[in-house]
Structure 1
């Protein structure tokens, strides 16, 4: 069953008329992981923010973004807010920017949960979800300010918040690029475990082709705001048809050869 369907999404920079995303269409099935790759400036992050209406006013979208039968693109901002975090979660590259630096993690998690649960139950669920996100020292995490945690820990807190809201789609925009190799591996394993255990859908954007190959069922390749190829993961890596896809894979192979001559 299709969970998210985007039809003919075009994102135009109003002052210049430049199309930053041009006639993009895609779908994500229930429980599927769609990987998105492309060079810097290809429109990957703009796509992620377009789904939740988070791009600046100077970027004008047209087309349709259908989530569970609702066209998110047609909703006014005040009606779009309930979808953010409750049905769809966005996990960003820079985890620190997602948190209030003046509030402890526990206060921020409990405040989110208080919309549905009393305080004691909210705190209990926060502990449980931090554990599920791979943070066993939940007491320390909840008592910490964001700046007291590592980038990897903050990424896991964002995953825990997504679990907390029982979202159906997680959009992860370069969630491992600012982390060291050990934390990258842990975060990827956590995404995979949570996605499989909860049958979540995941839109996973990354420059890391190894990460994409590990997680994704299908891969969408973007170039200059357009889709140039979309196919099952194994097919993308074994039989890429578009020159841009071939270049991305070749660049990855050359990098590995340089690291391991």
Structure 2
């Protein structure tokens, strides 16, 4: 199979992710985990599925905020357009993540699919009414918002590091913490995003990102079986390179 095969689901699989809430692959990690099975139909009543192809836009910077979204499969990139025409990727959303944790009337960032992705869309006004009726839903949203703030804080620490190798090591650990919840030696980490995406996220050039991957591989800290697959061999050493405040334990806490 081609690059990022682990993320490029067929349309059949994407449609399955948009099935009923009870059958959803991220039922127990997304917002809907706050709803008891007997009440899930209330959430389904206000849900509409969204299917995106690779690089297709979900929303653009400046668009009015009318809906919130839960990513059920694939990956999204969030980015801001800079005045000089460049883009700064601020985050990558994973299945189970929630998009729309904003108080503004307009979106401050754009969102695009990295690979084929599916989402559940909820009108904001109807979601607000549902959260009033089910306080557990609002509390779940608050917990997700707190986790997002912790993650944003850790991202700032990572991006504040001067050395490119520190940035890449921190990025790999943070991504691993969000996607692998059962740590073991030699974890395999799928990288759906391109090296260009990683460079735009870390504020580096694509050549620098490639050199850093090569250095980490040469030091025996990672393996690169494929272009979009990384096997983490020494998490502790990567944490040391990433810097204080990015230990594996702290990263797992931030991802919870």
Question: TM-score normalized by structure 1?
Answer: 0.28
More strand by share: 1
Greater RCO (CA < 8 Å, at least 6 residues apart): 1
